[in-house]
Amino acid sequence: MNTGSRSTGSRSTGSRSTGSRSTGQDRAERERRREGYRQGLPDHHDPTAGVGGAPPAHSALTLRAVLAGFGLVVAVVGAVLAGAAGITWFAVVLAVIAVVALVDLVWILHRKRRGEPG
């Protein structure tokens, strides 16, 4: 066995080159990305964006947050009432819907905190 034929010294220096940026550059990059979110992200998910001169659509995050919160409250109240009435299967369905609404609300608030417009 030849244990000296494999050199890992050059590999380790390549991975360190990305970590050597100063904190000022990292901060500037974060601010540039935040400013990009404030201006709006490109509408890559809409295949018809810009067709016919239409401006790219922006997500209405505040409206989505209100609707998700409303859905969460309605689903939780409905699940409790259905459980009290003895309709277990309906209570379980509403509880699953409440969990989905909660996850959606958390993700929307995360996007708003990140600085996306809407």
The model's pLDDT over 102-118, given as tens digits with 9 standing for 90+, comes to 999 999 999 888 887 77
Confidence of residue 12 (pLDDT cuts 50, 70, 90): very low
What ranges do the domains of the chain cover? Answer: 21-51+60-114
25-49 pLDDT tens trace: 888 887 777 776 666 655 555 566 5
| Structure tokens that stand for 3 in this block | 């244990």
Model pTM?
A: 0.55
Q: Decide if 114 contacts 102 (C-beta within 8 A).
A: no
Give the residue among 63, 108, 102, 48 at the shortest CA–CA distance from 79. Answer: 102
